[in-house]
């Protein structure tokens, strides 16, 4: 027996515990060990599974264990995942068949399909068998307090089942209180939860507070920080030292953003902090500087419109070409209105420019583009009317 278990990488203390659990029926250990191997539990995890599954694991008929596995497989947990699942959550093997069905139904009743359920269990096996049903219900009900429906919570857990492993008292409530302090409403927290549920899994003091402190240190107001987090929740999952701080330094030293404008830039475009410096920010920076824009001017443009550094330069080129060659506009027009690049060339820029040409009028880029079609039409009509009045007066003279 000892040779068998040592061959399967089971430690001596665990072998001793198993012998005690078997109450003299050593054959039961061999029987369950072979069964665990048949569902792909690796040798290095056999001892852990056997000792953590509970004393009744050695007394259960193999047929009952097979029934649990078959039921999980029929609900989306693939057979080749089963060993991994049982290794991470051996408590499942001591559940009665009725309890297994109740636990599976708990998730399926939230609208999960078999595929989502299966991948959820594979991603975080503990979600199914480690927590009491009372704990599971408490956590689902707490998440619903953010305005989520039963199905919303189901989608959330399917995507991030680790939420079920978070403590309401120790993790969620302190986080909610802190987010309230930053001026984030329940609706804002709901958006954060839906877009990046990982935020509700990270450590508040070690992960979130230092980042907020950094934003405060560069001059961003608390309410603006709250708006940033709601607008771009992934921000809280980025490394402060490897991602956030290097991008801020890049903006100030390479992109021309002044110390006076850095808080405004980050507050308006927190998505910049998720960009790769080498593969995105530097490429866009070089292209914009190649147009003849000065370093200081570019910094002002970025402060006014941070998205400028996130666009694909393949979208820049045709718009810039049309601006300079067809519209015959000076570079200064682009410097004053960098948001020009955000508008569709075919759906807004070209059609509106044609209207101006046809009516022999000229607008600044902001006046031409930053309005609805109805507002633009009124501007054109007003400009045409003013032109007629001026012409009429001139002819009388």
CATH of the domain at 298: 1.25.70.10
Whether 262 maps to a domain, the answer reads yes
What b/e readout covers 342-360, taking b as 16+ CB neighbours within 10 angstroms?
beebeeebeebbebbeeee
Whether 261 maps to a domain, the answer reads yes
Residue 262 structural domain: 238-342
Q: Are 307 and 254 within one domain?
A: yes
pLDDT, position 20: 57
Q: Are 259 and 311 within one domain?
A: yes
Q: Are 290 and 357 within one domain?
A: no
Q: Are 362 and 382 within one domain?
A: yes
pLDDT, position 25: 57
- Which of 317, 342, 367 terminates a domain? The answer is 342
Q: Are 359 and 335 within one domain?
A: no
Q: Are 360 and 391 within one domain?
A: yes
Model confidence at 234: pLDDT above 90: yes
Q: Are 316 and 269 within one domain?
A: yes
Whether 308 maps to a domain, the answer reads yes
Whether 355 maps to a domain, the answer reads yes
Whether 2 maps to a domain, the answer reads no
Q: Are 281 and 374 within one domain?
A: no
Whether 46 maps to a domain, the answer reads no
Q: Residue 17's pLDDT band (boundaries 50, 70, 90)?
A: low
Model confidence at 397: pLDDT above 50: no
Whether 86 maps to a domain, the answer reads no
Encode pLDDT of 47-100 as tens digits.
777 777 666 777 778 898 899 999 999 999 999 899 899 888 888 888 889 999
- Which of 324, 342, 360 terminates a domain? The answer is 342
Q: Are 280 and 319 within one domain?
A: yes
The total domain count for the chain is 2
pTM: 0.80
Q: Are 257 and 307 within one domain?
A: yes
Per-residue pLDDT averaged across 156-163, rounded? 93
pLDDT, position 154: 93
Of the given ranges (51-65, 142-156, 373-387), which has the lowest mean pLDDT? 51-65
Of the given ranges (79-88, 173-182, 190-199, 317-326), which has the lowest mean pLDDT? 79-88
Encode pLDDT of 266-318 as tens digits.
999 999 999 999 999 999 999 999 999 999 999 999 999 999 999 999 999 99
* Number of residues that this document lists for the chain: 397
- Which of 342, 369, 386 terminates a domain? The answer is 342
Q: What percent of the chain has pLDDT over 70?
A: 89
Whether 321 maps to a domain, the answer reads yes
Q: Are 243 and 327 within one domain?
A: yes
Q: Are 351 and 378 within one domain?
A: yes
């Amino acid at each position: 027996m000892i040779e068998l278990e040592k061959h399967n990488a089971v430690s001596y203390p665990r072998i001793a515990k198993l012998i005690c659990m078997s109450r003299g029926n050593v054959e039961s250990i061999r029987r369950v060990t072979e069964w665990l191997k048949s569902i792909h539990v690796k040798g290095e995890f056999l001892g852990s599974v056997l000792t953590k599954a509970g004393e009744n694991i050695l007394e259960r008929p193999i047929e009952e264990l097979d029934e649990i596995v078959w039921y999980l497989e029929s609900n989306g947990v693939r057979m080749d995942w089963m060993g991994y699942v049982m290794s991470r959550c051996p408590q499942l093997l001591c559940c009665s068949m009725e309890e297994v069905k109740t636990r599976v139904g708990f998730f399926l009743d939230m609208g999960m399909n078999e595929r989502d359920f299966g991948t959820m269990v594979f991603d975080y096996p503990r979600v199914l068998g480690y927590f009491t049903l009372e704990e599971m219900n408490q956590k689902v009900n707490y998440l619903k307090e953010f305005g989520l429906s039963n199905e919303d919570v189901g989608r959330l857990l399917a995507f991030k089942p680790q939420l079920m492993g978070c403590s309401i008292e120790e993790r969620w409530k302190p986080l909610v209180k802190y987010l309230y302090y930053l001026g984030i409403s329940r609706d804002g927290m709901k958006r954060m939860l839906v877009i990046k549920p990982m935020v509700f899994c990270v450590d508040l003091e070690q992960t979130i507070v230092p980042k907020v402190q950094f934003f405060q240190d560069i001059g961003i107001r608390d309410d603006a920080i709250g708006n940033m987090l709601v607008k771009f929740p992934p921000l809280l999952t980025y490394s402060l030292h490897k991602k956030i701080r290097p991008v801020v330094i890049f903006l100030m030293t390479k992109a021309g953003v002044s110390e006076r404008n850095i808080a405004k830039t980050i507050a308006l475009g927190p998505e910049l902090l998720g960009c790769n410096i080498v593969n995105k920010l530097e490429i866009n920076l070089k292209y914009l500087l190649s147009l003849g824009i000065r370093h200081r001017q570019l910094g002002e443009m970025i402060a006014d419109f941070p998205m400028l550094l996130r666009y694909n330069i393949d979208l820049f080129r045709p718009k810039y070409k049309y601006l300079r060659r067809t519209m015959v506009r000076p570079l200064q027009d682009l410097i004053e209105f960098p948001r020009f690049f955000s508008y569709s060339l075919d759906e807004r820029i070209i059609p509106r420019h044609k209207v101006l040409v046809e009516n022999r009028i000229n607008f600044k880029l902001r006046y031409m583009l930053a309005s609805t079609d109805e507002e633009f039409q009124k501007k054109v009509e007003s400009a045409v009317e003013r032109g007629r009045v001026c012409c009429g007066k001139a002819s009388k003279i």
